Structure 1
Amino acid sequence: MKINWGTAIVLVFIAFIVFIGYFVVIANTTERTNHDLVTEDYYQKELGYQADLDASRNLNELNSNMRVYIRPEGLLIEFPESMLEEKVKGTVSLYRPSSKQLDFDEPIRLSDSQMLIPRSRLLAGRWDIRIFWEYEEVPYLYRKRMVL
């Protein structure tokens, strides 16, 4: 049987359409390729962006350092020692870009100007850490990306 140019072109188009169809089905049904939105209320959070910039600037103007360490027991957060523990109020938000089911917020509870998030709550991989707190009615914001 001899295949002419017209038949060959039609067969190539059909093969291409089948390949693209297969690729679309696999991409939409595979759990590995399921990535969620950054946040559900993206536009609402963008309205508060200037407040975040002001809080970050307040932290930069503070003379004390804020530190976050990865320890075998978990994530250790050291707040400035100049701040009284009972006056610090806020939250630590851990965001996992690959899965929103792993995201969580933890209220700030200090002991010796430190807070520990246990290793059992953190899976290996990239985490975006956002620490927002108020001290004497002044907002502060610390952000960091870490890979555990």
Structure 2
Amino acid sequence: MKNFNWGHGMVIALLAFIIFILSMLFLFPNGQKNSEMVTENYYEEELKYQDVIDAKGRADQLQEKPVYSQDKNGIKITFPKEYDNSNATVKFVLNRTDDQNLDIHKSVQLDMNKSFLIPAQVLTPGNYTLRLSWTKDKKDYRLDYDVIWK
């Protein structure tokens, strides 16, 4: 039997390192999931982000804010009862956190109860970010909610 020397130690260390790296690639493939950007126009939206910050600030100052609820029919967003929607436009974006193909973008009209419904048929179970934005009297407002649809 040959004596163990530093050359053998180097070869064993190198082989152990290679086995470690390969095991990381094959045992933990989570890094290969959909790694998509949240939006296609990232840089253009970044330049407009101060408007988003201002809209969120205005929405945070509201006494009563729109709220969302879930049931078997879908996700219902309800505005406060005293909200006058005669000169308002309401938009929502429902971003799926793991697959942008499941995103939903819509402009909606509020019904007589000052609410609207995102039907369950267009939703798939998972995590969403609901971005609710509306313009009232030429002022923008925006609220973001984390939603888990089951």
Superposition TM-score tier, normalisation by shorter sequence: 0.7 to 0.9
- The RMSD of aligned alpha carbons is 2.6
User: What SS is found at the alignment partner of 2:35?
Assistant: coil
* Equivalent AA in structure 1 for residue 118 of structure 2: I
Does the CA contact (< 8 Å) of 1:125 and 1:147 recur in 2? yes
Residue type of the partner of 1:116?
L
Normalised by the length of structure 2, the TM-score is: 0.80
| TM-score (norm: length of structure 1) | 0.81
> Does the CA contact (< 8 Å) of 1:72 and 1:119 recur in 2?
yes
Q: What's 2:65 paired with?
A: 65
Deviation at 1:41, TM superposition (A): 2.2
How much does 1:97 deviate?
1.7
| 1:43 corresponding residue in structure 2 | 43
Q: Residue 114 and residue 104 in structure 1: after superposition, are their counterparts in 2 closer, same or farther (change >3 A)?
A: same
Q: Figure out how many residues of one structure are paired with residues of the other and give that number.
A: 147
- Aligned residue for 1:62, secondary structure, equals coil
Q: How does 1:1-148 map to 2 (within 5 A)?
A: 1-2=1-2, 4-5=4-5, 6-21=7-22, 23-24=24-25, 33-111=33-111, 112-148=113-149
Name the SS of the counterpart of 2:39 in structure 1: coil
> Which amino acid in structure 2 is aligned with residue 84 of structure 1?
D
Q: Which runs of 5+ in 1 are unaligned?
A: none
- The alpha-carbon distance between structure 1 residues 57 and 13, as it changes in their structure 2 partners (threshold 3 A), is same
What is the CA-CA distance between 1:10 and the residue it aligns to? 0.5
| Paired residues of 1:83 and 1:135 also in contact (CA < 8 A) | no
Q: d(CA) in 2 for partners of 1:104 and 1:124?
A: 14
Specify the SS of the correspondent of 1:65: coil
Structure 2 gaps of 5+ residues are none
Q: Greater helix share, 1 or 2?
A: 1
